[in-house]
Amino acid sequence: MAIMKVIEVLANSEKSWEEATRKAVKQAAKSVKNIKSVFVQSQSAVVNGDNVTEFRVNLKITFEVN
């Protein structure tokens, strides 16, 4: 039986929500091993004038505990 743990991570990108998600997983993988999945809990964006300047994601990352 595998034991799984979930952590919550916030990330941002100037390009897209997908890039923010990839950046979060890449950064988390530096200290967390055996990442199995990611759940995008919420998305938001920063608007400056009439332009979206930043995409933000709130993720739940699931990984297996040894």
pTM, two decimal places: 0.88
Mean of per-residue pLDDT scores for the chain: 97
Res 14: pLDDT = 97
Tokens standing for 6? 């979930």
Tokens standing for 47? 């608007």
Domains of the chain: 3-65 (3.30.1660.10)
Q: What is the pLDDT of residues 19-48, one digit of tens each?
A: 999 999 999 999 999 999 999 999 999 999
Half-sphere CA count of 48, side-chain side, radius 13 A = 4
DSSP string, 1-66: --EEEEEEEEEEESS-HHHHHHHHHHHHTTT---EEEEEEEEEEEEEETTEEEEEEEEEEEEEEE-
Of the two residues 66 and 32, the one the predictor is more confident about is 32
Confidence of residue 66 (pLDDT cuts 50, 70, 90): confident
**Bridge partner residues of 11 (DSSP):** 57
Res 1: pLDDT = 85
